[in-house]
């Protein structure tokens, strides 16, 4: 079965950096777009970023552009989220999620529907 396991969360001071990882198993990782979605304590869900199946395309929520970077290593079935210039308001549980996309004609498409999620990594930004 699909399994996504995040790591790298913790407590960090404002302005500092942190890098999250998510290791995937149970599916053909290189065929799917992968996302990060976050949830601040007691709040709703917020999409953060997506990376295409081959790592060639990345998209971000505007408030993360220039501060966050998503990447992937298909040889390790792993995606990453590098977070820089962290702010107190970035405090949240960060989930990695698998896109429910499909492949056709040699290209795989992300559809922004998430059919598998990790357990989440808590990032706390505090002085």
Partner 1 sequence: DIQMTQSPSTLSASVGDRVAISCRANQSIGTWLAWYQQKPGKAPNLLIYRASTLQNGVPSRFSGSGSGTEFTLTIITLQPDDFATYYCQQCHSRPWTFGQGTKVEIK
Identify the residue whose tokens are 């953060």.
Answer: 48
Confirm or reject binding of residue 11 to partner 1 (CB under 8 A).
no
- Burial class of residue 4, CB neighbours in 10 A (0-12, 13-18, 19+): buried
> Which of the stretches 13-21, 24-32, 45-53, 71-79 binds partner 1 when contact is defined by CB under 8 A?
45-53
Out of 2, 8, 27, 47, the only residue in the binding site for partner 1 (CB under 8 A) is 47
Burial class (CB in 10 A: 0-12, 13-18, 19+), 83: buried
What pairing do the DSSP bridges indicate for beta strands 121-125 and 10-12? parallel
| Choice from 30, 55, 59, 91 touching partner 1 (CB under 8 A) | 59
Return the number of the residue (16 or 21) whose C-beta is nearest partner 1. 21
Among 40, 45, 88, 103, binds partner 1 (CB under 8 A): 45
Give the 3-state secondary structure of residue 1. coil
Among 41, 62, 75, 105, binds partner 1 (CB under 8 A): 62
Phi, psi of 62 (to 5 degrees): -55, -40
Binding partner 1 (rule: CB under 8 A), the pick from 10, 19, 115, 126 is: 115
Residues near partner 1 (CB under 8 A) are 44-47, 50, 59, 61-62, 95, 100, 111-115, 117-120
């Amino acid at each position: 079965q699909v399994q996504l396991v995040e790591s790298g969360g913790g407590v960090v001071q404002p302005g500092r950096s942190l890098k999250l990882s998510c290791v995937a198993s149970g599916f053909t990782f290189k065929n799917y777009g992968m996302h990060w979605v976050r949830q601040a304590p007691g709040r709703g869900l917020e999409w953060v970023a997506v990376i295409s199946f081959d790592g060639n395309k990345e998209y971000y929520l505007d408030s993360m552009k220039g501060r966050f970077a998503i990447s992937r290593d298909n040889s390790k079935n792993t995606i990453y989220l590098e977070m820089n210039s962290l702010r107190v308001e970035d405090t949240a549980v960060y989930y990695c999620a698998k896109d429910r996309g499909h492949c056709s004609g040699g290209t795989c498409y992300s559809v922004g529907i998430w059919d598998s999620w990790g357990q989440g990594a808590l990032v706390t930004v505090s002085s």
